Structure 1
Amino acid sequence: MLKRENYVSFAIVVGFFLGLVFGVAKFDEPELMVLWTILSTMGIYLIVTVSVSVYYIFTDSNDAKLHKEKLEESLEHYRKEFDRKEQEVESIRNFIKSLQGID
């Protein structure tokens, strides 16, 4: 499933190019072409933003909910790994200090 930001970004790009194509096809003045491009980009952006928001509101998004147990397990795992790496770094630092003391 694509993320919400991907839909909105795609809509901005499509709106820009559609506005540019219609602006060039319909108007002769560059100011009107730019204005039409900006207005169509904003219009498509607003339509897609509302559509995506309504979709996410009305769909059952149980996958997006936070699973506390899984999160706590992974955080505990990373904390233990961090502690282990910190001990390794400390032992390497002590070894280097002992070598410097020998010289």
Structure 2
Amino acid sequence: MPRYALHLPGLQSVNWINVLVVFVLTSFATMFALANLTPVQLHFLGVSSAAIPVYIPVFIAFILGFSGGVLALTFSRRKHKLEIAWLRQEHERLQREVDNLRNIPLQDDV
């Protein structure tokens, strides 16, 4: 177990919450897709698509946005992990300095 890990009782219940959230979101996505089967034709920068159901471009836009968010989060997380590593090294260096200062014998100049 990592040094900074916390043991929380009842942590297994979080997995059921994740399953429930995924199930609810999947249900809503399925209902949305079934309610929006009307074919549409997309036009962008002079390029036209074939007639496709409305839910397909909506899902594609959602997936692209989600992927962009995950990518941004990955870069942010990496930056923070590097900062945490630097702060741990700094903490260890300062701790050694404090320990060295504690071990210096006290002298009376009387």
- Provide TM-score, normalisation by structure 1: 0.38
Q: Which has the higher helix share?
A: 1
